[in-house]
Amino acid sequence: MVPDARFHSAPRGPFALRAIAEACGARLAEGADPQRLIVGVAGLQAAGPDDLSFFDNPRYGEALSATRAGAVIVSPKHVARVPAGTAPLLAERPNLAWARALRLFFPPVRPQPSIHATAVISSDAVLGAKVTVEAGAVIGAHAVIGAGSVIGANAVIGPGVVVGKECRIGNGASVACTIMGDRVIVHPGARLGQDGFGLASGPDGHVTIPQLGRVLIGDDVEIGANTTVDRGSLGDTVIGSGTRMDNLVQVGHNARLGRGCIIVAQAALAGSVVVGDFATIAGQAGIAGHLSVGRGARIGAQSGVMNDIPPGETWVGSPARPAVQMMRAIAVLDRLARQRGRPAP
């Protein structure tokens, strides 16, 4: 595959199979030539003799057997399906190895450090070495931007905000009341640190409760486009290191996410939700306020969570319940529906 040069850089390389295996944590199968050169990457069906591909889904077994790829990253249990002429690179987690291989061929591209003439930067903001500030960006009073970070066009960094080293703040994003670690990626249009949704209702209407907390973000976090993370009310909203959020996610005030969590598009966490390390919340799931999701738990798409979820469990449905219970309930309903459709004896 040759990426469109209008949007992407040309791939690095070529690389010898030995170098690729070392970079992606794989090992060469017996008989593979470690000096064989690989020029590019491609899917199984499009790959040619100079390309690297990968196989991780049994659904594409026929494509693996028919591939013309020069090398393929594959689990040892599927190596017998790799055709002659294709060198297997064996990995227990082919998808992870593939991601590392792609980063070898296409490392992240950083712009040349510069400050655009139309950027507005407070005189008392602190910018580290090799920072890039693009057109129309605003950096407020006493903000700190770590070395090597990029502030995208029309992004707004509010007063006192701390952006760590090697961060990327996308075009049009806004960051307020936030302290973030290093290598954080904030995609375009994201909103961090705005007021949480807090109010008190009385006979004359609603009174907004001041939101006096912050957003604290660890290292290596990625926050998707148009995602919103509200600041805490009295405490802080916390996003643990290594967490990944998709586009259009809502994180309410005082929520606390652990390390390595995955939050998929359009999921919403109400205020004061606590999510344990390495939990996964699938698309359009909603979690009611003040609940806890245990370490390593998994919540299915469109689930409505109204109870605490223990560590390691998988819950689905609305209202959400353990997956085994939900499947049994669906089976019973299906059986009842079929019985009602039968003629009377």
**Nearest CA-CA partner of 120 in 137, 141, 144, 143:** 137
Q: How far is it, in rounded angstroms, from Cα 210 to Cα 118?
A: 34
**Could you tell me which residues are beta bridge partners of residue 115?**
133
Rounded to the nearest angstrom, the gap between the alpha carbon of residue 199 and the centroid of all alpha carbons in its chain is: 31
Closest CA to 42 of 99, 85, 98, 1: 1
Please give the angle made by the CA atoms of 293, 297 and 300, to the nearest 5 degrees: 95
Q: Which of 8, 116, 253, 290 is catalytic?
A: 253
CA angle 107, 109, 113 (to 5 degrees): 145
Of 126, 128, 174, 166, the residue nearest 150 (C-alpha): 166
Q: Give the closest residue to 218 by CA, choosing from 236, 194, 243, 193.
A: 243
Q: What are the tokens at 70?
A: 């020069």
Instruction: List beta partners, residue 145.
Output: 127, 163
H-run or E-run covering 323 = helix 323-340
Q: Tokens 């070495």 identify what position? A: 129
Alpha carbon distance 215, 161 (integer Å): 10
Annotated active-site residue 78? The verdict is: no
Written as one string, the DSSP assignment of 240-299 is -TT-EE-TT-EE-TT-EE-TT-EE-TT-EE-TT-EE-TT-EE-TT-EE-TT-EE-TT-EE
Q: Are 302 and 318 in contact (CB under 8 A)?
A: yes
Q: Which of 209, 217, 172 is nearest to 191 (CA)?
A: 172
> Buried (b) or exposed (e) across 54-92, using 16+ Cβ within 10 A?
bbbeeeeeebbeebbbbbbbbbeebeebbeeebbbbbbe
Active site residues: 253
